[in-house]
A and B are shown apart, each in its own frame.
Chain A
Amino acid sequence: MELNSFIENFAAQFDDTDVSEFTPSVNFKDLDEWSSLTALSVIAMVDEEYDVKLSGNDIREANTIEDLYQLIANKN
């Protein structure tokens, strides 16, 4: 797994947010488009792409996209 491709997959769960906003250090929960539905989307994407099951708690504890990436890398 590579950070840039993870960010691309992460960004693909959004429809209206500009690609430039998705940086490793962005607090993704501050994005206007973030919602419980996007959370569900991200969990499903991670399951599909990386075969890792994130919990709601994992999402709550992560702040940045990189946090999430590290979490998945550790579980992988």
Chain B
Amino acid sequence: MFSVKNKTILITGASSGIGRYTAVLLASQGANLILTGRSREKMDSLMAELNNPVHKVIVCDLDDENNIKTLAQNIESLDGLVYSAGVVDYTLFKFFSREKYEKVFNVNFYSAIQLTNYLIKFKKVNKDASLVYISSISSILGVPATTFYGASKAALNTAVKVLASELAPKNIRANTIMPGIVKTPMIEGASDQLNAEAFEKAEKLYPLGLGTPHDIASAALFLLSSESRWITGTSLLIDGGHSLQ
């Protein structure tokens, strides 16, 4: 029903977590993928799993403006984007530093809008395309130590709303997905930083349990398909009921 067959879709942050799972799901539904990630090894392993020469890999770090520009230039045209590159950060107010702020905002926010900027400027986004950005429930909560992370995702939500209204005349849609805690390597890495007991406590606050990458990838599939043709500029909250309590 939710078809992405023969659509060309760029997935950033495809080497692990939500991005990787989304790649596997979209590939199974007949999409032609362009995949980016920082690790050559992980991208090779993903390509081996997909086992289809129609997909392309571009190893690059979206930390760097030149890489983003080159990436956009090397793409022929797109019917969809899943921006899933991101870093998590837990910093209390009293430990702020500009360095941390810049690192988190750079990848989670600026690289996302800059990549979009180049894709539009170079006319790489087809009419009827759908752009999906992975945000976070942190963008609408106020969990301690999530200032940089949550604010970078909130900035992304707003930018994508503006983008949606600017691109609507071309029938290009743009939305964000705000996942609650999904079990991915990024979160597992972060839980090591956090007090593990606090993390276990968080799990109890999810009426439907913690999410899986599939829960998010399937929403991305929906937003990329034409079945969601009237949805643009929204932030879709997927949190297993976390915000209900």
A contact residues vs B (CB 8 Å cutoff): 36-37, 39-41, 43-45, 48, 55-57, 59-60
Judge whether B193 and A43 touch: CB under 8 Å. yes
Residues of B near A45 (CB, < 8 A) are 95
Seed contacts A36-B194, A41-B92, A56-B194; 8 additional CB < 8 Å A-B pairs: A36-B195, A39-B194, A39-B198, A40-B145, A48-B95, A56-B191, A56-B195, A59-B195
Alpha-carbon gap, A10 to B192, bound state (A): 20
5 contacts between A and B (CB under 8 A): A37-B92, A39-B195, A55-B193, A56-B196, A60-B197
Residues of A near B91 (CB, < 8 A) are 44
- In the complex, whether B98 has a CB less than 8 A from a CB of chain A is no
- In the complex, whether B169 has a CB less than 8 A from a CB of chain A is no
Min CB distance, B33 to chain A, in Å? 35
Residue of A nearest to B94 (CB): A41
Min CB distance, A51 to chain B, in Å? 14
Residue of B nearest to A44 (CB): B95
Alpha-carbon gap, A28 to B94, bound state (A): 21
Judge whether B92 and A56 touch: CB under 8 Å. no
Alpha-carbon gap, A74 to B145, bound state (A): 28
Min CB distance, B104 to chain A, in Å? 15
Q: Say what secondary structure dominates the interface of chain B.
A: helix
When A36-B194, A44-B95 are in contact, do A56 and B199 touch as well, CB less than 8 Å? Answer: yes
Alpha-carbon gap, A59 to B199, bound state (A): 14
Residues of B near A40 (CB, < 8 A) are 90, 92, 144-145, 194-195
When A55-B192, A55-B193, A57-B192 are in contact, do A44 and B92 touch as well, CB less than 8 Å? Answer: yes
Alpha-carbon gap, A48 to B192, bound state (A): 18
Judge whether B193 and A56 touch: CB under 8 Å. yes
Alpha-carbon gap, A43 to B199, bound state (A): 15
Min CB distance, B240 to chain A, in Å? 21
Residues of B near A43 (CB, < 8 A) are 193
Alpha-carbon gap, A16 to B146, bound state (A): 24
Residues of B near A57 (CB, < 8 A) are 192, 196
Alpha-carbon gap, A40 to B195, bound state (A): 7
Residue of B nearest to A56 (CB): B196
Min CB distance, B141 to chain A, in Å? 16
Residues of B near A59 (CB, < 8 A) are 195
Residues of B near A37 (CB, < 8 A) are 92, 144-145
Alpha-carbon gap, A43 to B153, bound state (A): 24
Min CB distance, A6 to chain B, in Å? 17
Residues of B near A39 (CB, < 8 A) are 194-195, 198
Residues of A near B199 (CB, < 8 A) are 56
Interface string of B56-97 (1 = CB under 8 A from A): 000000000000000000000000000000000011101100
Residue of B nearest to A13 (CB): B94
